[in-house]
């Protein structure tokens, strides 16, 4: 086999490998979203909330025994509609977190807002609230 044929074959194999790698990268685009964690604004944060972009789920945690519950809202705008999902952790401080029980479908690239507050009872006035945004 001539040197020219060997070089051509090597170039062909290299080109095919690069092309296949490029196709694989295009078939599986990089994930662009971010996870969000936010804590209430009181001195010793009594509540926290977390949004996991990859699985599109969120939870709220009552982190302190203070007689208040932790409440979280996840908000986004999609398909011409404004969406709000709410979850409350009313089982007392440091007894685990409460996961939002329903499937959430948010298109990639949409902005989401996660808010966490403390409040007295299911319909109390939210206090010590903090909001953070991210991208689904």
- pLDDT, residue 6, reads 39
Question: Is the pTM above the cut of 0.85?
Answer: no
Q: Is the dihedral of CA 26, 27, 32, 34 positive or negative?
A: negative
Q: Distances in Å between the alpha carbon of 123 and those of 25, 45, 88, 120?
A: 49, 20, 11, 7
- pLDDT 10s digits, 19-71: 344 433 344 444 457 899 999 999 999 999 999 988 889 999 999 999 999 99
Per-residue pLDDT band at 4 (split at 50, 70, 90):
very low
- pLDDT, residue 123, reads 92
- pLDDT, residue 20, reads 41
Q: Which among 84, 76, 75, 73 has a CA at the least distance from the CA of 126?
A: 73
- pLDDT, residue 32, reads 56
- pLDDT 10s digits, 71-118: 999 999 988 999 999 999 998 877 889 999 999 989 888 999 999 999
Task: Tell me: pLDDT of 133 over 90.
Answer: yes
């Amino acid at each position: 086999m001539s040197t020219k044929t060997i070089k051509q074959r090597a170039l062909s194999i290299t080109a095919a490998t690069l092309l296949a790698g490029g196709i694989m990268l295009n078939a599986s685009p990089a994930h662009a979203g971010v996870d969000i964690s936010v804590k209430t604004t009181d001195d010793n944060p009594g509540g926290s909330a977390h949004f996991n972009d990859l699985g599109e789920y969120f939870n709220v945690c009552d982190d302190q025994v203070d007689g208040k519950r932790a409440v979280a809202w996840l908000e986004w705008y999609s398909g011409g509609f404004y969406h709000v999902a709410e979850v409350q952790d009313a089982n007392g401080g440091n007894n685990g977190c409460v996961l939002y029980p329903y499937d959430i479908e948010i298109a990639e690239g949409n902005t989401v807002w996660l808010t966490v507050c403390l409040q007295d009872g299911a319909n109390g006035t939210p206090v010590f609230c903090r909001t953070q945004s991210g991208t689904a």
